[in-house]
Structure 1
Amino acid sequence: MERGGRYRAHNLEEPTSELEKYAREVMNAMIREGIPPTPSNFDAYFDKLLDGKDPAFRKRILKLLELEDGGEDDHQGLMERRLKDAFGNIKKFLQSINTLYKNLRHLETVIEKRQFEADAIADKGAMKTLLEGMKKDIRTMTGILKKDANELKEAYNATSELVQEVQENAIYDDRYGVYKKNYLLRKMRQEEKLMKEFRHESTLMTVRASEEVVNRLKSPKIRQLVLRTVARLLLKTSRRSDIIAHYDAGVFAILMRHTSLQNARLAADRLKDLVGNTNFFVGDEEIMLDVDIGIARMDLDRSVEQTVVCALEALDIAKKLEDEPCGVCPQDVEI
């Protein structure tokens, strides 16, 4: 590897960088021991053999792995801790309900007892004493019930806040089976670090159902179904390394790692062909699905947010094109 992390062009049969040689060593060890070279097995052997290397080598490799990891374990750990807190509050919530129920039953028993005693009393003085005692019992139970109700309210509010926090920090959009916007932006920032280290190209693609198709769909339920169809097609055509997310308002975004602008154009062309062969029926009307596609380079000279704006601008350009599979960010056209 050259200074600054740039790879030299070389014969692929003969690895030259330290990382490439180690990867070959890991693969040879797996083949020698008859271990299927699946990604999960490779990860396991990568870590296993690394334990036997000298500290300086391990430090260099682990530094690269930190760039790849991007803190996902920390994020997952935080989510699990918040969920654990939420479940703890739910347990308190249920315990409070149980205590409240028991105290209500006790109050009911006290009232029934006092009523039975009242039926047996003919003397007015004794009746007054009974009523005073009953008032005292009710005041005591009322105080207990108010305390139980306050504890119940506090547990509910705490649980509600934690659940809201988990929802806000969740990375998966279960409506479409893809990631959320916050996860996409985090992975884009991680990708910037990797691009700076290894000098490869990556591209952001944006996709949405065409206005012509959406305007023909009057039912919100049908529109939602179309968006899920678009998401499913994106998942079908994407690579394992691509990050697919619902960005906002029916716009999907794909972080295409190690992908040049030209290769992104080819991917857009393939996606257009697949979408063009997809149709659905609304009543008796057949509707052919169509999408607009925009692409923008991941450029280290602009922020992640600026790259997103560029890709969205390219999406608007795509609406006006007829013979091109996608729109391109105006800043990237001349590059």
Structure 2
Amino acid sequence: MMKQGEQHHVRNLTGSTNDLEKYAQEVLKEMIREGIPPTPSNFDAYFDKLLDGKPAAFRKRILKLLELEDGGEDNHHGVLEQYLKDAFGNVKKFLQHINLLYKNLRHLEHMLEKRLLETEAVADKDSLMTLLDVLKKDVQTMNKIIKKEAGELKERYESTSELVLEVQDYAIHEERYGVYKKNYLLTKMRKEEKLIAEFGHESTLMMVRASDKILSQITRPKVRHLILRTVARLLLKTSRRSDVVAHYEDETFAILMRHTSLDSAKQAAMRLKDLVGNTNFFVGDREVVLDVDIGIARISLDRSSEQTVICALHGLDIAYQQGDVCGICPHDK
């Protein structure tokens, strides 16, 4: 028999599930009404897009259900990348231990040679010399074996090192900030351009840079990293599940916002600005209020992905110079 608390939990879960079913039907109807093909990728983007307009209590119930889902393929790749890096670290440590053992054996061999020279001053030394000769041969044999093994391990280490470097070139996660890498962002942008060409929807790129006014006051690398890590965390907090949050370069991050118009991107920029403006921390006795500059550009078929990035960066510079919440690429106004 269920306890009262368990019955209450089941009722809540059932109610949320019913809400989810009704909402999923609403999303599907809206996509059909706007002529958007109900592919899994498009459905995911529209699911997040329409959820923004729902009451806070409803969003909370739906998001709580979604938390029960698996993290997805990209998160799985991220875990595999971390496993590979950890394995590489273990191989490196293992080789270091082998190298230390080899050095110790070399030291032992030199010590035996020294002792052999010392025994030459002994009058009755035949048996001792025989014993030391045998011991030296044994050590030399061991030394050759260890040296051979160390050479093979070194080759394996170098091969593994090259493999890891190649994997890192294809890695999609930026572990320093917990977001995606630049190469993954550009790949996703090119795919989005193909989808826009096929289905005609709108998508937007947002570039976000930690304020130079704030960073210029910080000289300690660890504190600068903390600031950038905080910016990345806030971007993840304000983004939708279908968005791609990535570290572009230096102090600049990017968000690919699928199925998002320029007007919707402006509203998102305002929410982000408010959130960032309410974030502060202390550096010594001095309070620092976080700030960012934001630029946005439409994903356009009339230019390449790289040109769209440049366009959004131009908007970012405009926001910085004019003190606006966000700057829009001049070509997209």
Q: TM-score, normalised by structure 2?
A: 0.66
What's the CA shift for 1:318?
A: 1.2
The answer (yes or no) to whether the contact 1:276–1:289 under 8 Å persists in 2 is yes
- With over 3 angstroms needed to count, the CA separation of the structure-2 counterparts of 1:158 and 1:242, relative to structure 1, is same
Q: Take 1:280 and 1:203, find their aligned partners in 2: how far apart are those partners?
A: 31
Q: Take 1:180 and 1:20, find their aligned partners in 2: how far apart are those partners?
A: 28
- The equivalent of 1:321 in structure 2 is 322
Q: Take 2:158 and 2:206, find their aligned partners in 1: how far apart are those partners?
A: 41
Q: Take 1:253 and 1:214, find their aligned partners in 2: how far apart are those partners?
A: 18
2:264 corresponds to 1:263: yes
- With over 3 angstroms needed to count, the CA separation of the structure-2 counterparts of 1:225 and 1:15, relative to structure 1, is closer
- With over 3 angstroms needed to count, the CA separation of the structure-2 counterparts of 1:273 and 1:302, relative to structure 1, is same
Deviations 1:239-266 (A, max 9, x none): 1111101111010100000011121112
What's the CA shift for 1:183?
A: 1.4
1:18-29 alignment runs, 5 A limit = 20=38
What's the CA shift for 1:319?
A: 0.7
Q: Take 2:176 and 2:302, find their aligned partners in 1: how far apart are those partners?
A: 34
- AA aligned to 1:327 is G
Q: Take 1:127 and 1:285, find their aligned partners in 2: how far apart are those partners?
A: 75
Deviations 1:217-244 (A, max 9, x none): 2322222211122112111111111110
2:299 corresponds to 1:293: no
- The equivalent of 2:178 in structure 1 is 177
What's the CA shift for 1:207?
A: 0.4
Equivalent residue of 1:319, what SS?
Answer: helix
Could you tell me the percent identity over the aligned residues?
A: 62
Deviations 1:261-315 (A, max 9, x none): 1211121122112222222222332222211000111111211111111111211
The answer (yes or no) to whether the contact 1:297–1:307 under 8 Å persists in 2 is yes
- With over 3 angstroms needed to count, the CA separation of the structure-2 counterparts of 1:150 and 1:231, relative to structure 1, is same
- The equivalent of 1:163 in structure 2 is 164
What's the CA shift for 1:131?
A: 6.5
The answer (yes or no) to whether the contact 1:92–1:155 under 8 Å persists in 2 is no
The answer (yes or no) to whether the contact 2:105–2:143 under 8 Å persists in 1 is no
The answer (yes or no) to whether the contact 1:15–1:21 under 8 Å persists in 2 is no
- AA aligned to 1:275 is V
What's the CA shift for 1:184?
A: 1.0
Deviations 1:157-213 (A, max 9, x none): 223223333333321122222111121111112212211221111110000111112
Equivalent residue of 1:187, what SS?
Answer: helix
1:152-231 alignment runs, 5 A limit = 152-231=153-232
Structure 1, 220-229 or 140-149: larger mean CA deviation: 140-149
Equivalent residue of 1:175, what SS?
Answer: coil
Q: Take 2:187 and 2:158, find their aligned partners in 1: how far apart are those partners?
A: 30
Q: Take 2:125 and 2:39, find their aligned partners in 1: how far apart are those partners?
A: 102
- With over 3 angstroms needed to count, the CA separation of the structure-2 counterparts of 1:93 and 1:279, relative to structure 1, is closer
Q: Take 1:252 and 1:15, find their aligned partners in 2: how far apart are those partners?
A: 34
- AA aligned to 1:253 is A
- AA aligned to 2:258 is R
Q: Take 2:258 and 2:36, find their aligned partners in 1: how far apart are those partners?
A: 22
- The equivalent of 1:47 in structure 2 is none
The answer (yes or no) to whether the contact 1:181–1:245 under 8 Å persists in 2 is yes
- With over 3 angstroms needed to count, the CA separation of the structure-2 counterparts of 1:244 and 1:18, relative to structure 1, is closer
- AA aligned to 1:293 is I
Q: Structure 2: any 5+ residue segments left out of the alignment?
A: 1-27, 44-64
Between the two proteins, the alignment pairs up a number of residues equal to 283
